[in-house]
Amino acid sequence: MVRVAVFISGGGSNMVSLLEDMAREGHAGTPCVVLANSADAGGLARAEERGVPTVVVDHRPFKGDRAAFEAAINAALEPFAPDMICLAGFMRVLTEGFMEQWAGKMLNIHPSLLPKYKGLHTHARALEAGDAVHGCTVHEVTAALDDGPILGQAQVPVLADDTPETLAARVLEQEHRLYPAVLRRFVAGDRSPLILQS
């Protein structure tokens, strides 16, 4: 089994979709720990409800010293011996050194059809650009922001009356389909891109 650590910062809805899928028959991955950068992350309780160990590495004491924060993350992960990491709403920028250590073993989900709209405010940016379709992307994490090899995408149509909030809600539904599907394939050794239609 591939041991998967899931990193969160908030409520962890994508984390829940990953944990629930890994609990299904025939999955080659198993969640070994959920790590949050704040004890207030609502997803911690949701992980514990599912019997998954949790750990908190608060970023605040490490202000200005990302390397020390990441050393603390690695120390916290060590007892759980993860084979890979899934970022699921983890809102901290990781250094190149950390990403190199986990190269080819760290996935992220981003709320746009990469390479469009890297970074924040993706739904508003898609609306401002007049896009007809929007969506989400699962990719391998590399040193460049939102720029690793694409492993899967899901599209949603942009509706005439969409707001950033309504568009975000529809994209999130697709995130909950796409991320588990990509992870299931990834831990089984399949890195070919998966394209889902809404």
- Hey, which residues are catalytic here? 110
Residues 109 and 172: beta-carbon distance below 8 Å: no
Separation of alpha carbons 101 and 131, rounded Å: 37
Residue count (the chain)? 198
Q: In what order do the strands lie in the sheet with 2-8?
A: 54-56, 29-36, 2-8, 84-87, 106-110, 133-140, 150-157, 194-197
User: For helices 13-22 and 164-187, what crossing angle results, to 10°?
Assistant: 30
Q: Residue 4, SS3?
A: strand
Q: At CA 64, angle to CA 56 and CA 9, rounded to 5?
A: 30
Count the neighbouring beta carbons within 10 Å of the beta carbon of residue 1.
Answer: 11
Separation of alpha carbons 28 and 101, rounded Å: 22
